[in-house]
Amino acid sequence: MKLFWFLPTHGDSRYLGTAHGARSVDHKYLKQVAQAADQLGYEGVLIPTGRSCEDSWVVASSLVPFTEQLKFLVAIRPGVISPTVSARQAATLDRFSNGRVLINVVTGGDPDEQRGDGSFLSHAERYEVTTEFLRIWRGVAAGETVNFAGKHLRVENAKTLYPSVQKPYPPLWFGGSSDAAIELAGEQVDVYLTWGEPPRAVAEKIAKARAAAALHGRTLRFGIRLHVIVRESSEAAWRAADRLISHLSDDTIAAAQKAFARFDSIGQQRMAALHQGRRDRLEVSPNLWAGVGLVRGGAGTALVGSPEEVAARIEEYAALGIDTFIFSGYPHLEEAYRFAELVFPLLPLARMHPPGQANLTGPFGEVIANDIVPSARAAA
């Protein structure tokens, strides 16, 4: 099982939908989050993309020198950048990071943002472009010389001279809920991602993606994107969930839902359908809370509960075939520590932070009365 964290390049706060409790997200803060994730044993971090975010490639490039093992899941945007240029960027960052780059293929879901970036394609056309883009990208990234003439894209003698560390190229990750998205995943990507829907819905998507891959003689790995609110007791976790949206007004929710309604993303529509903008129907499955999606686009659900409850829900998704989990929490620095300390010990992880036995300050807490090293004991 591989656990990832999230870099909040579009902002961070203790509360959703308000400036109250907000904090400045600058390079120093992102470095803190990345270094914490690296030290704690997270496999990597997802860096979001879009006009509301700092550029994912610049952020990843700036943080590589400050981390050691952490991988960076960065976005490529078919229809916005050339596939050949994108393949060169990926190879360069993969070499300079010594193989710590993962590629997130993002077709886009907000027509207004797409038009702002010069793309006036329909939903179906974006997937046509992405299919052609990846056929070129994969060949060039694998060291081939590519000649391609499609409906939307054409290249001649396309190639890159400097190879990536990972072979044949940095792995391609991708998420999408439409039939076109699942067909694309089956043909071309390595890891298929879903947002945090109830397990039955996730199982249906995985089955469709597996079938699509089988038609091409391929297999897929699967990942899920979720927020998490974990506390030492279930009651404390649900109180924390309530606090997260305690400054959120009904007008703000209505404005956010109106904005999301213009999206042509099937995944975004599925997220909105879980709660329909209502505060009274936010627990959409045991320990699965849709409150984040009231005002946040994209991933809108969180696992909420005690460490044991959250670990049980993770294992439930893992039983469906998911081996990679991308989590986030508000604020991201503190919650990265909280989640790792409370939940990591309960899960079979691919990467664990080695115990700091040579470290005089842990992992045992604070020395008692200058001489006594505390031991783990149950609360009275």
pLDDT at site 105: 96
- Supply the range of the domain harboring residue 40: 2-76+171-346
pLDDT at 229: 98
Within-domain flag for 72:
yes
151 within a domain of the structure (yes/no):
no
Percent of the chain with pLDDT over 70: 94
- Does 305 reside within a domain? yes
pLDDT tens column, 229-262: 999 999 999 999 999 999 999 899 888 888 878 8
Tell me whether residue 67 is in a domain. yes
Whether 269 is covered by a domain: the verdict is yes
We report the CATH number of the domain holding residue 284 as 3.20.20.30
**Among the listed residues 320, 296, 297, 325, the one whose alpha carbon sits nearest the alpha carbon of residue 310:** 325
What pLDDT is recorded for position 51? 86
Does some domain include residue 128? no
Strands (E), 255-352: 283-285, 288-289, 302-305, 322-328
**138 part of a folded domain:** no
Q: How many domains would you assign to the chain?
A: 1
CA pair distance 30, 339, nearest whole angstrom: 18
Q: Is residue 88 part of a domain?
A: no
* Collapsed DSSP state (helix, strand, coil) of residue 189: coil
The mean pLDDT value of the chain amounts to: 91
Question: Is the preceding omega at residue 8 within 30 degrees of 0, hence cis?
Answer: no
Question: By mean pLDDT, which of 24-38, 104-118, 218-232 is the weakest?
Answer: 104-118
Paired strand residues for 174: 105, 192
Whole-angstrom Cα Rg for the chain? 21
* pLDDT value of residue 377: 54
* Nearby residues of 320 by Cβ (< 8 Å), 6 or more positions away: 199, 202, 203, 206, 222
Beta strands per DSSP E along the chain: 2-6, 12-13, 22-23, 44-46, 71-76, 101-105, 146-149, 154-158, 172-175, 191-195, 221-230, 283-285, 288-289, 302-305, 322-328
